[in-house]
Structure 1
């Protein structure tokens, strides 16, 4: 969501256009939420005051079906807006933006442009959870810290989702690590059986048993969310809530381990860098019996090449 918002704000700013609060669309057709279901609208509007005009609702006279749809590459440049988007905007007057990801591109660019500061503001200064979702995340983080008494209240968040690991894109590539590989990696860099681990996997899957053998204090959303919140935030139609909860818990954990490479990892890394939580350890198959955790620090941090570093220098 951070990337999508940043692109929309950058385009609206360049064009001098009004930004209508976007729907939040899930991966399945028809799976969408209103912006205010998840984020604090007042904070969003206030943070963009003087930068971009924001409308909470699409004007009634505009039909979504009649809007010209423009594909916008993530991290859109001024040249692209001028050449590909502005002419359509000038002729049509209203646009619907559809961001796509030619690649996961969160590295900072060397050349400075007028849109850099707007991009930084949009990514790191506009989105805040609405109170109920905020409360759910805070209570889950608090629960994890309570469960981590033996490790001074510290816990690891691991982005590991079984349904993604099973997809063909993960087979044979080392951009994804299995539960067993994650268990071996964490052991070899010094984490012991008292380590508390939060998994982004929503519900327990038998394939995770190999990880639980090494690390018995391992938890999913299902096991630490308050019972009265599960019906709303953990049902078949709550995938966007689940992603947001994962994002914020992974951003607040003491250590973050992305078992899956990609956009979620890049966005969490940016949020962690912005808040000074730079313990991001990227898994690897380690020959031998032990290694230093410092050797596996994310290159976003070790090389300071994430765009967040150009926002928070």
Structure 2
């Protein structure tokens, strides 16, 4: 019997490990499902100073929706919780702001407010209009749309330029490569797509054959969708045939198909080619298979030599496309949205789920019960506590923007109540409370659940990666994309819309919102329009923070026609980019 390669696991030990993990999950799952026990009636109330849950008398005009909740608040692992918990240093959670909701108004009785149980009160925000007796004062704010509200920004002569040069070395014959690279992807779908393209590039760097990557198995949704269910594998292999060889496990040599024969690869975080030449190539040649099993986040540097940046772009923007089934669902949703409002619609990504809110240490109007609930989540996930109070975090613009605030931002940009708006999100925290506010301002709000038939929804049940792919398709093809969170999905959408011709893409300036919420409406609109980011050409090397090629392909993979204007953030390109 051949000796087991270094770094491999025997089947016996894998089984024992699996048993131990399952036992641990069985022990902690009841705790994860727990939340503050509530049995009280909530009133959603609008006063002069904002949207409140309360009892007692508030100031100014008020209107109430009564929501009955007598169930435990359930833990929900959202579609992108893994993306943000496992990516960008295990916490890709950023924060924005909301000026109200920190407790009862002055003069009101203090009320303990805890998260209600979704649709327990009977109002289904996705499929039902806002109750007639509910009023959000912000609904009356004038729209004042600018003439270019729906216009794409000018492309300034920038076009894709990723063709291989004539002297580009072809892919090495299959039987002459240094071995095989196998990658287990992790995170949400956007992160997995970036990792797929990095895997292609790494295979080229070390002259290896790439085994079709394994998508993340979602432990909450039990989603075991394979590569071919989300992406067009045949097209992917064909478009990259001149770069690398790509095979399925069953196409590998028989003696290498067993996991017991695979060497554990050593990912070099933000590595350069020379790091892999030194640290991984010798073992690959010896063992023939390098299995990157324990995460593949950021295996390559943000800036690589130009030939590899262009390969990343060929993989991402040319070769990696969604499967026909994903495109079919996505196109159906796009057509339905276009049929609602003169052929145009806004696609919005909203991140307002329990995991990111708990991570922020901010206050979202739930009182002591909410604070205790989120503190428990931070403890369970070993997230650090904030070094400032919730009030100070909000004042500093470090709290996630609430749906009420997002709706006001969209109205400030000029979108009115007749705007069809497609929402992509996970399970929104206290949706009855927060989405009543949003939907009052944008009654044509739609989701997959409101647009698809019960039979179609049944096909998607439990398919988190598939649903994320459909959302990505819709947001990429929307007339305007409105993004509210600086996570992986934001970069995925922004990069694709830039590549497809600079489609208008707005990014919520959540750091700005606390500073302008008390300004007059004219001043508010002027401020949000001043800071809008409309998806025009920008130099990724000129930003104040690192931007991967997947979030902005300029200047490495897009070239400007002679005589075009300089980029608004033009700087000298770094030597690392190879330009």
Q: TM-score, normalised by structure 2?
A: 0.48
1:19-38 matches, cutoff 5 A: 19-28=210-219, 31-38=223-230
CA distance in 2 between counterparts of 1:174 and 1:48 reads 42
Question: Could you tell me which residue of structure 2 aligns to residue 130 of structure 1?
Answer: 323
Question: Could you tell me which residue of structure 1 aligns to residue 452 of structure 2?
Answer: 225
* Deviation (angstroms), 1:226: 3.8
CA deviation map 1:207-261 (0-9, x unaligned): 322110111110111111243321111x1x2111111111111111111122121
Describe the shift of the 1:176–1:72 C-alpha distance in structure 2 as closer, same or farther (beyond 3 A). farther
The runs of at least 4 consecutive aligned structure 1 residues that moved more than 6 Å come to: none
Residues 264 and 290, structure 2, Cα contact 8 Å, conserved in 1:
yes
CA distance in 2 between counterparts of 1:224 and 1:195 reads 16
Residues 211 and 246, structure 2, Cα contact 8 Å, conserved in 1:
yes
Residues 175 and 260, structure 1, Cα contact 8 Å, conserved in 2:
no
CA distance in 2 between counterparts of 1:145 and 1:275 reads 19
Describe the shift of the 1:54–1:219 C-alpha distance in structure 2 as closer, same or farther (beyond 3 A). same
Residues 180 and 210, structure 1, Cα contact 8 Å, conserved in 2:
yes
Task: Determine if the alignment matches structure 1 residue 181 to structure 2 residue 394.
Answer: no
Task: Determine if the alignment matches structure 1 residue 297 to structure 2 residue 492.
Answer: no
Describe the shift of the 1:135–1:76 C-alpha distance in structure 2 as closer, same or farther (beyond 3 A). farther
CA distance in 1 between counterparts of 2:499 and 2:199 reads 21
Residues 258 and 282, structure 1, Cα contact 8 Å, conserved in 2:
yes
CA distance in 2 between counterparts of 1:19 and 1:28 reads 26
Equivalent pairs counted in the alignment come to 303
Unaligned runs of 5+ in 2: 1-191, 363-392, 541-546, 560-579
CA distance in 2 between counterparts of 1:272 and 1:23 reads 26
* Deviation (angstroms), 1:40: 1.1
Task: Determine if the alignment matches structure 1 residue 158 to structure 2 residue 348.
Answer: yes
* Deviation (angstroms), 1:90: 2.3
CA deviation map 1:157-201 (0-9, x unaligned): 111133254341484464742211101111111111111111112
1:1-313 matches, cutoff 5 A: 1-28=192-219, 31-58=223-250, 59=252, 60-61=254-255, 62-72=257-267, 76-97=271-292, 98-101=295-298, 109=303, 112-149=305-342, 153-163=343-353, 164-169=355-360, 171=362, 172=393, 174=398, 176-201=400-425, 205-206=431-432, 207-233=434-460, 235=461, 237-284=462-509, 285=513, 287=516, 288=519, 289=521, 290-291=525-526, 293=529, 295-297=531-533, 301=536, 303-305=538-540, 307=549, 308-309=553-554, 310-313=556-559
CA distance in 2 between counterparts of 1:102 and 1:118 reads 15
* RMSD of aligned alpha carbons: 2.7
CA distance in 2 between counterparts of 1:38 and 1:267 reads 15
Residues 165 and 178, structure 1, Cα contact 8 Å, conserved in 2:
no
Describe the shift of the 1:267–1:71 C-alpha distance in structure 2 as closer, same or farther (beyond 3 A). farther
Describe the shift of the 1:102–1:128 C-alpha distance in structure 2 as closer, same or farther (beyond 3 A). closer
Bigger Cα Rg: 2
**Structure possessing the higher relative contact order (Cα contacts under 8 Å, 6 or more residues apart):** 2
CA deviation map 1:258-277 (0-9, x unaligned): 21211111111111111014
* Deviation (angstroms), 1:76: 4.5
CA deviation map 1:85-143 (0-9, x unaligned): 3233223210123311499x87xx4x743312211111111112222221111000100
Q: TM-score, normalised by structure 1?
A: 0.86
